[in-house]
Amino acid sequence: MSEKTVGYILLFVGVIIILFSGFSVYGVFSKNIKPVQFFSIGSTPIEIPIAGQTANKGVDGGGIGIPTEVIQDPLNAFAHLTLMIFIGGVGFKIASLGTMLIRPVIVKLKSKESSDKPSK
């Protein structure tokens, strides 16, 4: 295969990877797609004691129960965003390599005549 053909293939693959990561992030933040479950916290709610109360009342000790989804979902969304930024960067590197192979390399050399002219 010629360099231009490989360049166009790399450019196409890189743009597809960038678009995939962008649509994936959009889908996660618009709640159309579930993010990849990186973090898995148990199903019991986390108890946070209320100010002024002692923490030794046990599991049902009068604290505020926070569902684990409140903590787990933003962590998974942030981890998904971080992963997609990395994948988008890889797509950018592949596409930029493709553009370097597509464009022609033009080297302009100074001619000997222009360097021999005396400057005024």
Per-residue pLDDT tens over the stretch 64-98: 677 777 888 899 999 999 999 999 999 999 999 99
The whole-number pLDDT of residue 96 equals 96
Instruction: Give the three-class secondary structure for 58.
Output: coil
- Domain of 26? 1-38
Q: At what angle do helices 68-102 and 3-29 cross, to 10 degrees?
A: 160
Domains: count for the chain: 1
Report CA torsion sign: 104, 107, 108, 113: negative
In a domain, 74, yes or no: no
Indicate the pTM of the whole model. Answer: 0.69
In a domain, 34, yes or no: yes
Cβ atoms < 10 Å from Cβ of 62:
12
In a domain, 81, yes or no: no
60 pLDDT tier (thresholds 50, 70, 90): low
Q: Give me the mean pLDDT over the 36-60 stretch.
A: 66
Nearest C-alpha neighbor of 43 from the set 60, 65, 68, 66: 68
In a domain, 100, yes or no: no
